[in-house]
Amino acid sequence: MKFEAVTIKDIAKALGLSTSTVSRALRDSYEISPETKKLVIEYAEKINYHPNPIALSLKERRSRSIGVIVCEIANSFFSQVINGIESIAYNNGYNVIIGQSRESFDREMLNLQYMTSRSVDGLIISISTETHDLSYFKELNQKGFPIVFFDRIVDEIPTHKVIVDNYKGAYDAVTYLAKSGYRKIAALANSASLSITRERLAGYRAALADNSLEEDETMIHYCEHGGMIAQEVEDAMKELLKSKQQPDAIFASADKLTTGCLRYLKTHGIRVPDSMGVIGFSNTDLTELLDPPLSVIRQPAFEMGEIATSLLLQLIESKRPVKDFETKVLTTELLIRGSTKEQQQFENIKV
Amino acid sequence: MKFEAVTIKDIAKALGLSTSTVSRALRDSYEISPETKKLVIEYAEKINYHPNPIALSLKERRSRSIGVIVCEIANSFFSQVINGIESIAYNNGYNVIIGQSRESFDREMLNLQYMTSRSVDGLIISISTETHDLSYFKELNQKGFPIVFFDRIVDEIPTHKVIVDNYKGAYDAVTYLAKSGYRKIAALANSASLSITRERLAGYRAALADNSLEEDETMIHYCEHGGMIAQEVEDAMKELLKSKQQPDAIFASADKLTTGCLRYLKTHGIRVPDSMGVIGFSNTDLTELLDPPLSVIRQPAFEMGEIATSLLLQLIESKRPVKDFETKVLTTELLIRGSTKEQQQFENIKV
DNA sequence: TTTTTTTACGCAATCGTTCCCGGTAACGTT
DNA sequence: AACGTTACCGGGAACGATTGCGTAAAAAAA
User: When comparing pLDDT for A317 and A305, which is higher?
Assistant: A305
pLDDT above 50: residue A157: yes
- Is A117 close to B50, i.e. CB distance below 8 A? yes
Q: How far apart are CA B181 and CA A147, in angstroms?
A: 59
Residues B155 and A14: their CA atoms lie apart, in Å, by 37
Higher-pLDDT residue of B320 and A38 is A38
Query: Which chain B residues are Cβ-neighbours of A146 within 8 angstroms?
Result: 1
- CB pair distance less than 8 Å for B145 and A3: yes
DSSP string of A92-127, one letter each residue: TT-EEEEEE-TT-HHHHHHHHHHHHHTT-SEEEE--
Q: Are B270 and B242 in contact (CB under 8 A)?
A: no
Provide the CA B25 to C1' C5 distance, Å, integer. 23
Contact B22, B12 (CB under 8 A): yes
Say whether the CB atom of B18 is under 7 angstroms from strand C. Answer: yes
Q: What is the pLDDT of residues B231-273, one digit of tens each?
A: 999 999 999 988 887 899 999 999 999 999 999 999 999 998 8
Hey, are the CB atoms on A90 and B80 less than 8 Å from each other? no
Backbone φ and ψ of A346, nearest 5°: -60, -50
How many angstroms separate the CA atoms of A155 and A147, rounded?
Answer: 13
Q: Is the pLDDT of residue B318 over 90?
A: no
Helix or strand run (H / E) with residue B350: helix B344-350
In sequence order, the β-bridge partners of residue B161 are B149, B327
Residues shown for chain A: 351
Helix (H) or strand (E) holding B265: helix B255-267
Chain A residues in contact with B262 by the CB 8 A cut-off are: 289
A179-212 pLDDT, tens digit each? 999 999 999 999 999 999 999 999 999 999 999 9
**Given pLDDT bands bounded at 50, 70 and 90, which one contains residue B224?**
very high
CB contact under 8 A, A98 and B263: no
Q: How many interface pairs between A and B have CB atoms less than 8 angstroms apart?
A: 141
Q: Which residue of B has its CA nearest to A119?
A: B54
The CA–C1' separation of A6 and C21, in angstroms, is 28
Q: CA at A33, C1' at D14: how many angstroms apart?
A: 26
Query: CA angle, corner B156, sides to B152 and B161, nearest 5?
Result: 45
- For β-strands A333-335 and A295-298, DSSP reports them as antiparallel
B112-159, pLDDT tens digit by residue?
888 887 778 999 999 999 999 999 999 889 888 999 999 999 999 999
Kindly identify which residue of chain B lies nearest to residue A266, measuring between CA atoms.
Answer: B289
Contact present, A187 and A237 (Cβ < 8 Å): no
Indicate if the pLDDT at residue B1 is higher than 50.
Answer: no
pLDDT value of position A344? 58
The gap between A33 CA and D1 C1' (Å) is 30
Distance CA(B108)–CA(B102), nearest Å, equals: 8
Angle between helices B34-46 and B19-26 (to 10 degrees): 90
Find all residues with CB under 8 Å of A208, minimum gap 6, and list them.
A174, A178, A185, A214, A215
Report CA(A130)–C1'(D17) in Å, whole number.
Answer: 34
pLDDT category at B3 given cuts 50, 70, 90 is low
The closest of A242, A239, A235, A262 to A250, measured between CA atoms, is A262
Contact B200, B253 (CB under 8 A): yes
pLDDT at B350: 39
Say which amino acid occupies A224: E
B263 contacts in chain A (CB < 8 Å): 288-289
The pLDDT score that the predictor gives to residue A1 is 41
Give the pLDDT of residue A349. 42
In terms of phi and psi (left: phi > 0; alpha: psi -120 to 50; beta: otherwise), the region of A183 is: alpha
Segment A314-332 mean pLDDT: 91
Round to whole Å and give the CA distance between B244 and B217: 12
What mean pLDDT comes out for the span B44-63? Answer: 88
SS3 A3: coil
Please report residues of B whose CB lies closer than 8 A to that of A71. Answer: none
Strand C at less than 7 A from CB of B57: no
Task: Name the nt closest to A57 by C-alpha to C1'.
Answer: D15
Rounded distance, CA A277 to CA B50, Å? Answer: 53
Sign of CA dihedral A186, A192, A196, A200: positive
Cβ count near B62 (within 10 Å): 15
Give me the pLDDT at residue B208, please: 96
Alpha helices in chain A (DSSP H): 8-15, 19-26, 34-46, 53-60, 76-91, 105-117, 135-142, 166-179, 195-210, 230-242, 255-267, 301-317, 344-350
CA gap A294, A299 in Å, rounded: 15
Q: List Cβ neighbours of A290 (8 Å cut-off, separation of 6 or more).
A: A259, A262, A339, B286, B289, B290, B291
Show residues of chain A in contact with B108, CB under 8 Å: none
pLDDT at B31: 87
Query: Among residues of chain B, what percentage have pLDDT more than 70?
Result: 96
**DSSP string of B199-255, one letter each residue:** HHHHHHHHHHHHTTPPP-GGGEEE-TTTTSSHHHHHHHHHHHHHSSS--SEEEE-SH
The closest alpha carbon to A308, from A199, A192, A193, A152, belongs to A152
Q: Do B98 and A98 touch (CB under 8 A)?
A: yes
User: Looking at the predicted structure, is the pLDDT value of residue A350 above 60?
Assistant: no
**Mean pLDDT of all residues in A287-299:** 92
- Report protein residues in contact with nucleic acid strand D, where contact means CB under 7 Å: A 16-21, 24, 30-36, 55, 58-59, 61; B 5, 7-9, 19-20, 23-24, 26-27, 31, 49-52, 55-56, 58-59
**What gap in Å lies between CA A301 and CA A307, rounded to an integer?**
10
Which residue among B58, B118, B315 sits closest to A1, beta carbon to beta carbon? Answer: B315
Work out the minimum CA distance from B264 to partner chain A, whole angstroms. 10
Q: Flag if B266 and A288 touch (Cβ within 8 Å).
A: yes
- Tell me the HSE value of A318 on the side-chain side, using a 13 A CA sphere: 17
> In this structure, is the CB of residue B327 within 7 Å of any atom belonging to strand C?
no
In this prediction the pTM is 0.87
- What pLDDT score does A4 carry? 61
Q: How confident is residue B282, by pLDDT bands cut at 50, 70 and 90?
A: very high
Residue B233: name the closest of B223, B218, B247, B224 by CA: B223
Q: Gap from A17 CA to D10 C1', in Å? A: 8
Categorize the per-residue pLDDT at A113 as very low, low, confident or very high, splitting at 50, 70 and 90.
Answer: confident
Write b or e for each residue in A49-60: b if 16 or more Cβ atoms lie within 10 A of its Cβ, otherwise e.
beebbbebbbee
Q: From the CA of A5, how many Å to the nearest CA of chain B?
A: 9
pLDDT band at A272 (very low <50, low <70, confident <90, very high): confident
> Is B114 close to A95, i.e. CB distance below 8 A?
yes
In whole numbers, what is the pLDDT of chain A averaged over residues? 91
In strand C, the nucleotides that come within 7 Å of a protein beta carbon are 7-12, 14-20, 22
In the structure, what pLDDT confidence band is assigned to residue B110 with cuts at 50, 70 and 90?
A: confident
Tell me the pLDDT of chain B averaged across its residues.
Answer: 91
Q: Which residue of B has its CA nearest to A76?
A: B74
Instruction: List protein-proximal bases of chain D (any atom < 7 A from a CB).
Output: 7-21
Residue of B53, B99, B110 with shortest CB distance to A117: B53
User: What is residue B290's DSSP assignment?
Assistant: B
Element (H, E) at B167: helix B166-179
CA separation, residue B58 to residues A58, A118, B268 (Å): 8, 12, 58
Chain A residue closest in CA terms to B112: A95
Q: How far apart, in Å, are the Cα atoms of A312 and each of A92, A175, B1, B328?
A: 12, 36, 11, 43
- Interstrand relation of B65-70 and B122-125 (parallel, antiparallel or unpaired): parallel
Rounded to whole angstroms, the distance from the CA of residue B34 to the C1' of nucleotide C11 is 22
Please tell me the predicted confidence (pLDDT) of residue B195.
97
Phi/psi for B302 (5° steps) reads -55, -45
Cβ atoms of B191 and B225 within 8 Å: the answer is yes
- How many residues are given for chain B? 351
By C-alpha distance, the chain A residue nearest B287 is A290
Sign of the CA dihedral running B273, B276, B280, B282: negative
The minimal CB distance from B52 to the residues A100, A117, A315 is found for A117
User: Is the Cβ pair B289, A292 closer than 8 Å?
Assistant: no
Q: What contacts B160, CB < 8 A, 6 or more positions away?
A: B148, B149, B308, B311, B312, B314, B315, B325, B326, B327, B328
Q: Which amino acid is at A214?
A: E
Interface test with B, best of A289, A302, A318 (most B CBs within 10 A): A289
What is the nearest nucleotide to B21, using C1' and CA? C9
Query: Which of A62, A266, A288 minimises the CB distance to B2?
Result: A62
B59 Cβ within 7 A of any nucleic strand C atom: yes
Distance, angstroms, CA A20 to C1' C30?
36
B292–A290 C-beta distance less than 8 A: no
Whole-angstrom distance, CA of residue B51 vs CA of residue A72: 29
Sheet holding B185-189, edge to edge: B220-222, B185-189, B249-252, B277-281, B295-298, B333-335
Beta sheet of B65-70, edge-to-edge order? A327-330, A160-164, A147-150, A122-125, A65-70, A95-100, B95-100, B65-70, B122-125, B147-150, B160-164, B327-330
The pLDDT confidence band at residue A351, using thresholds 50, 70 and 90, is very low
d(C-alpha A134, C-alpha A121), whole Å = 20
Residue B210: its pLDDT value, please? Answer: 96
